[in-house]
Amino acid sequence: MVVNPSVEVYHLLDSDGRIRADDAPPGHLKRDRIDLEPVRRFLSGAPLPDLKR
């Protein structure tokens, strides 16, 4: 978050997408969980989305 404060890096997520470990200072995370469906699609072989739109 020092280099780019708009990027949150999570070190550990549980199987429901709850953030269990991160590098942010206390109180700085915008959320406590993420949607794992895009991660599951990627791991099953789906292509990454094209974000150049």
In a domain, 50, yes or no: no
In a domain, 21, yes or no: yes
C-alpha Rg value of the chain to the nearest Å = 13
In a domain, 1, yes or no: no
In a domain, 27, yes or no: yes
Domains: count for the chain: 1
Distance CA 38, CA 22 (A): 20
pTM, entire model: 0.63
2-52 pLDDT per residue, tens: 566 777 777 899 999 998 988 777 888 788 899 999 889 999 999 887 777
In a domain, 20, yes or no: yes
**Residues spanned by the domain of 26:** 10-43
Distant-in-sequence contacts of 20-26, Cβ < 8 A, 24+ apart: 25/1
In a domain, 52, yes or no: no
